[in-house]
Amino acid sequence: MTPVLRFAPSPTGRLHVGNISIAMRNWLFARKNKGKFILRMDDTDTVRNAPEFVEGILEDMAWLGLTHDQYLHQSDRFGKYDAAVETLKKAGRLYPCYETPEELSFKRKQQLARGKPPIYDRAALKLTDEDRAKLEASGLKPHWRFKLGSEKIQWIDLVHGKVEFEGDKLTDPVLIREDGMPLYTLSSVVDDVDLGVTHIFRGDDHIANTAVQIQLIDALGGDGSKFTFCHMPLLTDATGAGLSKRTGSLSIQNMREDGIEPMAILCLLYSLGTSESQHITFDLNELVERFETAHINRSSPKFSFEELLHVNEKLLHHMPYSMAQPRLKEMGLELDEPTWDHLKANIKKFADIRHQHDVCFGEITPIIEEPDFIKQALELLPNEPWDENTWATWTGAIKEKTGRAGKQLFMPLRQCLTGEAHGPEMKYLLPLIGYKKTVARLEGKQG
């Protein structure tokens, strides 16, 4: 059987790393098993949905390389949900309820005070036709609940193993709001059945929902036992707090604008919450080949932006010239392969290469804290031609003349020639900077 998986975001905000962690594992499983990956906009919340968020989700997924095989909107499928509602009503599995939110809250508090689970008491099932008519005449509109069976619900989860629920210990879920709009539980199940979804990978906050949805699948003519579920621990921030679409700093959009590489995000998310060591690659297919659900842990992983920056840096240090060259050209930088290989070792984001370019070929302000020492160094500067041995020749002569060694010798020279305390090896930089600029900087001039 060909596996069919889906990622179903709600366009009520931009995607964050927690969303992408779930989306990526759906995508990896589909690709590894020659399956189908569906991108479905769960956009039935007409109040909170926004077109710019739809476009943002598509943009983020494309930028990350998580391509889809089918794309659809739930807002185009209300006819399907209406038909499902009629099926459930005819089967006696959907019933109208008239309690207000305040009344339901009061009932839950009473149940908790008595040491009972806060599940709906099915009081609405005792209403007569006359009772319902009076309630509706008073202006109340019903919400509709799905009547759960009392039987045991169980499945083998790819992360949690055997999971069991007793149907009579779960609350009958609301499927239709007072305004007639279907809620997530109904629309998601209808679409999963209709689209032939076989595997559902999502956060472990949905485990109880799965028990309800298995019964709903069966009630709508499907077979809940044929679905494979994988409930993964939710990503948290560095403090252990949950992520949300209001966590702007962790949105994919902000990371892209901040210069983070897409594969840095995917490489880090791939290893978080698993037993695997971090793997740096530019090829998504490598992650596809490595992916195993057995490696997913049950504990919630913490996402650190500092760790992402570190992964981003490591990725750039491994970036081949063939991949960098088109981007360099877009920036108006003409660097050959040896120069790229030398300079990339000191960049944390790709845009940093412009500064490294300027250190070698543009103008910088020299840092001269010991002018007498720098003057001596200028007097000992070798004539051209220069190569990778020139730095050793020059610093050797300076050492012999001044008696300096180590940091006392090298740091003043680096600061003067590059304006920085750290950077690529000077034996590579010095020939790139060249004799003319080196003299100017040793003289304290911009160059």
Question: What is the per-residue pLDDT for 8?
Answer: 97
Each residue's pLDDT tens digit, 142-176: 999 999 999 999 999 999 999 999 999 999 999 99
- Pairing of β 143-146 and β 94-97: antiparallel
CA–CA dist 237, 247 (Å, integer): 9
Give the rounded percent of residues in the chain with a pLDDT score beyond 70. Answer: 99
CATH 1.10.10.350 is held by the domain 371-442? yes
**Which of 3.40.1010.20, 3.40.50.620, 3.40.50.1970, 3.30.1310.10 would CATH assign to domain 1-91+181-318?**
3.40.50.620
For residue 28, which of 255, 267, 214 has the smallest C-alpha distance? 267
What one-letter code names the amino acid at 175? Answer: L
Tell me how far CA of residue 111 lies from CA of 106, 107, 230, in angstroms: 9, 6, 32
Each residue's pLDDT tens digit, 30-60: 999 999 999 999 999 888 888 999 999 999 9
* Confidence at 69, pLDDT banded by 50, 70, 90: very high
CA–CA dist 302, 273 (Å, integer): 8
The DSSP H or E segment spanning 226 is none
CA–CA dist 357, 411 (Å, integer): 20
Q: Give the list of residues 6+ apart from residue 218 with CB closer than 8 angstroms, or none.
A: 224
| Domain 92-176, CATH | 3.90.800.10
CA–CA dist 26, 15 (Å, integer): 15
Q: Diameter of the chain by CA atoms?
A: 107
Each residue's pLDDT tens digit, 383-413: 999 999 999 999 999 999 999 999 999 999 9
Phi (first) and psi of residue 361, to 5 degrees: -120, -10
- Domain limits, the chain: 1-91+181-318, 92-176, 321-361, 371-442
The DSSP H or E segment spanning 60 is helix 51-64
Each residue's pLDDT tens digit, 323-361: 999 999 999 999 999 999 999 988 999 999 999 999 999
What one-letter code names the amino acid at 51? Answer: P
Report, as an integer, the average pLDDT of 116-132: 95
For residue 190, which of 80, 48, 309 has the smallest C-alpha distance? 80
What the block records as the tokens of 61 is 């997924």
What the block records as the tokens of 281 is 């690659």
Residue 447 has pLDDT above 90, yes or no: no
Each residue's pLDDT tens digit, 225-271: 999 999 999 999 888 788 876 655 589 999 999 999 999 999 999 99
Coil vs helix vs strand at 231: strand
pTM comes to 0.90
Report, as an integer, the average pLDDT of 282-306: 94
Q: Give the list of residues 6+ apart from residue 374 with CB closer than 8 angstroms, or none.
A: 368, 412, 413, 416, 442, 444
Question: What is the per-residue pLDDT for 1?
Answer: 84
Q: Give the list of residues 6+ apart from residue 375 with CB closer than 8 angstroms, or none.
A: 442
For 217-312, strand residue ranges (E) read 228-232
Tell me how far CA of residue 366 lies from CA of 410, 426, 439, in angstroms: 14, 15, 11
Which residue's structure tokens are 């990778």?
A: 388
